[in-house]
């Protein structure tokens, strides 16, 4: 597969526009009674009609057989090989709440936990306290002063939070304080490189202070930190593709991820309809739009086959608004499969439609896993989606002479 560096050499800016519509968790598995997947069950006249004038295929988000998390799956769709471009656990957690990380920030994922009077961990998740309680305790922790850096503590959900150390010359090469098991004391954070000594001391001072501050907050009377990391230095999509990219996503995680790649995260509402309206409103201002539809994945995760079918039908109903904008290239796909029968992400490849004036249509006339398996794109890695979209938008010049 061509690298981002090589794409960058041949990408050119132009007026043509690309819309990448991602129906999260789109791929499915057959319902045991009907033998049809969610997508095959849904009544999707608009998607089927689009498939009929497009080229279709099935993409592997990470590698055949691999079930991706949301971050790697989306990185792949944007052309960043997730086996190469890794995001630290702390950064991922910050991305998940769309926290505005600065380049120099060091961020850790935190858990509230319970320790006994000897300091031994009795519960790594502090009885899974409520998100509301988590927010209160984060406010307490945020008041802890540490020399040499600003400390920001933000709640995520339940017992989870992020701790951000903001200052000059901080280094994220640090070990976890979380021993990843119970019955032992939290570990001291240690520097994994010589440059990280000062940051390690800072983290340990924070942990010591946190223990004092939380002493009376049983069961959340201690913290565990892990996955210290910095905002990764990925090349921006504007540099690689010469695009002016925007993300339309109601869920914080996807806005956060898009911003890591230099996309503008547009304000939008909670509904799919509002996302489509946001696209129409900002259509003149950008030339690449990532539109993210979350509820299909949520329904799949809940094992709710029928709700997933409804979400797909809702998208189908809204599709004409998107097509009415007449983008040069429209891609409709998912980031991964979330079959309702598996109640979670899965490894199954994801159906995809690519429409453009130059797409070389195949004979697929229906948007489904089975039909896409026979599509002109075949089965291909998701990292090929962006090069294919760029090519169809006539935004890639010839490689070599």
Collapsing DSSP to helix, strand or coil, 21 comes out as: strand
Nearer to a second copy, 277 or 342 (CB): 342
Q: Is 338 within 8 Å of 23 (Cβ atoms)?
A: no
Rounded to a whole number of angstroms, the minimum distance from the CB of residue 373 to a second copy is 5
User: Quick one: 55 or 106, whose CB is closer to a second copy?
Assistant: 55
Which residues lie below 8 Å from residue 399, measured CB to CB, with a gap of 6+? 2, 6, 9, 10
Name which of 192, 236, 225, 13 is nearest 103 in CA terms: 236
Least distance (Å) between residue 372 CB and a second copy = 9
Nearer to a second copy, 65 or 324 (CB): 65
Phi, psi of 162 (to 5 degrees): -120, 140
Minimal distance in Å, beta carbon 209 to a second copy?
Answer: 28
CB of 187 vs a second copy, minimal distance in Å = 21
Q: Which is nearer to a second copy, 2 or 264 (CB)?
A: 2
- If the CB atoms of residues 92 and 189 are measured against a second copy, the closer one turns out to be 92
Closer Cβ to a second copy, 29 or 299, answer by number: 29
**Do residues 229 and 106 lie in contact, with contact meaning Cβ atoms separated by under 8 Å?**
yes
Given a contact cutoff of 8 angstroms between Cβ atoms, the answer to whether 290 and 131 are in contact is: no
- Strand ranges for 121-255 from DSSP E: 121-123, 150-157, 160-166, 222-229, 245-249
Could you tell me the smallest distance in angstroms from the CB atom of residue 88 to a second copy? 11
Instruction: Dig out the tokens for 258 from the structure.
Output: 């898009």
Under the rule (CB under 8 A), what is the footprint of a second copy? 1-3, 6, 10, 29-30, 37, 58, 62-72, 82-83, 86-87, 89, 92, 339, 341-342, 344-348, 358, 360-363, 369-370, 373-380, 384, 386-392, 396-401
184 phi and psi angles, rounded to 5 deg: -130, 165
CB of 91 to a second copy, least distance (A): 11
Residue with smaller CB distance to a second copy, 52 or 262 = 52
- Cα angle for residues 23, 26, 32 (degrees, 5° grid): 155
Sequence-distant (≥ 6) Cβ neighbours of residue 353 within 8 angstroms = 47, 50, 51, 54, 55, 56, 330, 331, 332, 333, 367, 372
DSSP, collapsed to helix, strand or coil, labels residue 246 as strand
Distance in Å, CB of 342 to a second copy, minimum: 7
């Amino acid at each position: 597969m061509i690298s981002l560096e090589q794409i960058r050499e041949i990408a050119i800016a132009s007026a043509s526009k690309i819309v990448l519509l991602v129906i999260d968790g789109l791929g499915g598995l057959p319902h045991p009674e009907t033998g049809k997947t969610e997508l095959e069950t849904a009544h999707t006249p608009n998607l089927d009609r689009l498939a009929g004038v497009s080229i279709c295929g099935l993409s592997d988000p990470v590698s055949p057989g691999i079930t991706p998390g949301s971050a790697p799956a989306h990185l792949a769709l944007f052309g960043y090989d997730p086996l190469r471009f890794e995001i630290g656990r702390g950064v991922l957690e910050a991305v998940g709440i769309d926290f505005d990380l600065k380049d120099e920030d060091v961020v850790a994922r935190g858990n509230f936990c319970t320790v006994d009077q000897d300091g031994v961990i009795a519960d790594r998740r502090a009885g899974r306290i409520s998100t509301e309680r988590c927010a209160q305790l984060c406010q307490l922790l945020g008041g802890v002063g540490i020399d040499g850096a600003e400390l920001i503590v933000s709640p995520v959900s339940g017992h989870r939070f992020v701790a951000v150390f903001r200052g000059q010359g901080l280094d994220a090469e640090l070990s976890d304080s979380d021993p990843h098991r119970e019955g032992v004391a939290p570990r001291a954070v240690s520097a994994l490189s010589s440059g990280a000594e000062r940051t390690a001391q800072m983290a340990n001072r924070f942990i010591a202070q946190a223990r004092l501050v939380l002493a009376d907050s049983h069961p959340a009377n201690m913290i565990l930190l892990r996955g210290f990391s910095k905002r990764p230095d990925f090349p921006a999509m504007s540099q690689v593709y010469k695009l002016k990219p925007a993300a339309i996503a109601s869920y914080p995680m996807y806005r956060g991820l898009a911003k890591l790649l230099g996309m503008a995260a547009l304000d939008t509402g909670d509904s799919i309809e509002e996302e489509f309206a946001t696209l129409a409103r900002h259509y003149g201002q950008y030339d690449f739009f990532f539109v993210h539809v979350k509820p299909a994945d949520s329904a799949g995760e809940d094992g709710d086959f029928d709700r997933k079918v409804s979400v797909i039908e809702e998208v189908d109903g809204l599709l004409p608004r998107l097509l009415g904008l007449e983008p040069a290239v429209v891609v409709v796909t998912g980031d991964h499969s979330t079959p309702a029968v598996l109640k979670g992400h899965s490894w199954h490849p994801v159906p995809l439609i690519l429409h453009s004036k130059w797409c070389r249509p195949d004979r697929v006339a229906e948007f489904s896993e089975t039909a896409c398996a026979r599509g002109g794109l075949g089965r291909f890695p998701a990292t090929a989606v962006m090069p294919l979209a760029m090519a169809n938008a006539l935004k890639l010049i010839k490689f070599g002479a």
